[in-house]
Amino acid sequence: DQQVKQNSPSLSVQEGRISILNCDYTNSMFDYFLWYKKYPAEGPTFLISISSIKDKNEDGRFTVFLNKSAKHLSLHIVPSQPGDSAVYFCAATDTGTASKLTFGTGTRLQVTL
């Protein structure tokens, strides 16, 4: 029962263009969402997060959008850079219960020159 889904296993974007990574969730108790970035042979690193009381959070080139009614969030990277090439994991949690993150299966982003 996968509560967080990233339906695109991979995405290729040209340098300078916008990258849009999508994530869907099924658990309506989730109220906090995070994006992690992972390079090969390294652990995931935190990128950006959003609380369910917001619908947008921005940090430099990274913006996360949350659509609660659709149970959908997306990460926008603009402009995309070659160093952004990595696997991006969406994660969600219910902050009212134990601190457990539920992860999606990741989307591999390739930014080409």
Partner 1 sequence: DTAVSQTPKYLVTQMGNDKSIKCEQNLGHDTMYWYKQDSKKFLKIMFSYNNKELIINETVPNRFSPKSPDKAHLNLHINSLELGDSAVYFCASSQDLVEQFFGPGTRLTVL
- Assess 89 for contact with partner 1 (CB under 8 A): yes
Question: Residue 15 or residue 94: which is nearer to partner 1 going by CB?
Answer: 94
Nearest in space to 89 (alpha carbons), one of 17, 30, 39: 39
Question: Residue 15 or residue 102: which is nearer to partner 1 going by CB?
Answer: 102
Question: Residue 63 or residue 93: which is nearer to partner 1 going by CB?
Answer: 93
The minimum distance between CB 81 and partner 1, in angstroms, equals 22
The minimum distance between CB 33 and partner 1, in angstroms, equals 10
Phi-psi region of 42 (alpha: psi -120 to 50; beta: other; left: phi over 0): beta
Binding characters for partner 1, 27-56, by CB under 8 A (x = yes): -----x-x-x----xxxxxx--x-------
Question: Residue 97 or residue 113: which is nearer to partner 1 going by CB?
Answer: 97
Q: Residues near 99 by Cβ (< 8 Å), separated by ≥ 6? A: 93
- Assess 7 for contact with partner 1 (CB under 8 A): no
